[in-house]
Structure formats: structure tokens, C-alpha cells
Amino acid sequence: MTVLDDIIEGVREDLAERRRALPLEKVRTAASSAPTPKDAFAALGGGRGGDLAVIAEVKRSSPSKGALADIADPAALAAAYERGGAAVISVLTEERRFGGSLSDLDAVRAAVALPVLRKDFTVDEYQIWEARAHGADVVLLIVAALSDADLTSFLALTHELGMKAIVETHTEEEVRRAVAAEASIIGVNVRNLKTLDIDRDVFAGLAHLIPAGTVIIAESGVRDAADVADYAGSGAHAVLVGEALVRHSDPAATIDEFRRAGRTAWQESGMSARS
């Protein structure tokens, strides 16, 4: 069993418990009364040049590193991210490996005006309705965890609810599947979800396969501004950053530094005027 398989097994078990406690019909009712979703596609630049966008993550732990930060107040952290110029706030809600919760999502949603991503391992439409019920504007769909049929239907439901989806890929085949599903936001995760190894060169090898007009996100492996600049120079419109922010004493300043590094990389590579 791979790490991804193990995580998904736990996600399904926890999902079954939540479904027993709150049937889908009630979740749908709650979703219908949630505030109108915010436009994450526009917040991330709409697939055009300009400023590199930072998706700043509320992340307590990870399978590869264990505990990362004792986040006593996720709302305060999210507010700092917003002050620093983050475009989207990502909230881990998977509990077993990442220490997240829907309570963290609720706290962050109440604290910021930015689009909020419910970052989890989506394997059932219940989770998409649940995300909307808790005020999320974006969900994560991992191609490696989904059949083509599920990817297509989950994307359709996400759009039906007015939300956006970050469709996460790791290989050339997965990028082609995401493009075929007409994903408008595609993430390239340079962490192998089977081994948890990082290979930053993966991004440049895959980003060029993603069509113009799509928001391209570099996921994982960001240690500092140099990594951000490398991703931006290879075609990233946005970077998703967790560990480097939650472990920093001044996450707002770090976000500003990352955005400036991305802007400089675009200017040097002549990419700032692309569309």
C-alpha cells in the first residue's frame, strides 16, 4: 500500500463517520445557505501574467515531516497571510496525517475576505458539498486519487456550486487527464505521493504541457524565495506554500518576499506580459 492509498483509506473511514452524523441532505441544505463563493480563478490571476500569487496554507503537520507548527489560532495566522498579500488561503482539513479539521476551515473563513481552499483528499461528492457548507470557495481534486469519471463529475459539481477546483497532477499522464477534463486551475505537485520524495525539476517538465489561459500552480518544495523564483521562471502563476510559512516568525513578510521574487523572475524571463 502506498502513502496515498493509506491516507485515502483513513479519509474514507472518517468520511463515513461524518456522513452517519450528518446525512448528505442536511449538508446540501447548509451549502445552499452559505455565502456566495469568491472567485479564486480571478484571485490567482486568471492564467495571465502580473504578480505571482501565493496560496498560503494553514498546515499543522505532514506525513513527511510530522508536526510542523503548533497553530493555536488558525484565524490569526490566516489574517497574517492576508496582510502579507496572499491570494488564497489553503486550510488542511484531513485530521489523521495533517492535523487539520473543518473547525480550522470555519475559523479561517470567518477571519479573511480572501478565497479559501478546503485542502483534503476528495473521494466523494459529500466532501464537495461539505466544503461549500463550511464556506470554502475552492476544493482540491487529486488526479491520482480519482478515475476520469469521478474527476469529471466532481469538477461539474464544483462548478455547479459556484466554486473552483485546483486539479492536482504529478505526471505527464495526469496533466493530460486534467487538461482533457477542462480544468481551469492545474497544480503540479513535485512531491511524489507514493514515496513523499521531492523533485523540483518535475514542475518545469510538466508546466509546458498546460495550455495558455489555465492557472498553473507549483505545489510543494518551496523553501525560500529562490525556489519561488525558479518556479515562476518555469511558468508558475502561483505557488502553494505551507511549511515555509507556518515555521516562519513573520509569515506576512515572507509572502511579500515570495511575491517580489516571482515578479522579478517573470520580468527577467520575459513572461510578465504573457496570457
Residues with catalytic roles:
57, 59, 119, 168, 189, 219-220
CA atoms within 13 A on the CB side of 142: 21
Of the candidates 273, 186, 266, 201, the one whose C-alpha atom is nearest the C-alpha of residue 233 is: 266
Q: End-to-end alpha-carbon separation of the chain, Å? A: 41
| d(C-alpha 198, C-alpha 40), whole Å | 27
The Cα–Cα gap between 50 and 56 comes to: 18
- Which sign, positive or negative, has the C-alpha torsion 179, 258, 195, 153? negative
Question: Closest by alpha carbon to 166, among 50, 62, 88, 72?
Answer: 88
DSSP 8-class letter at 208 = T
Q: What one-character DSSP code corresponds to residue 91? A: E
Q: Which three cell numbers stand for residue 9?
A: 483509506
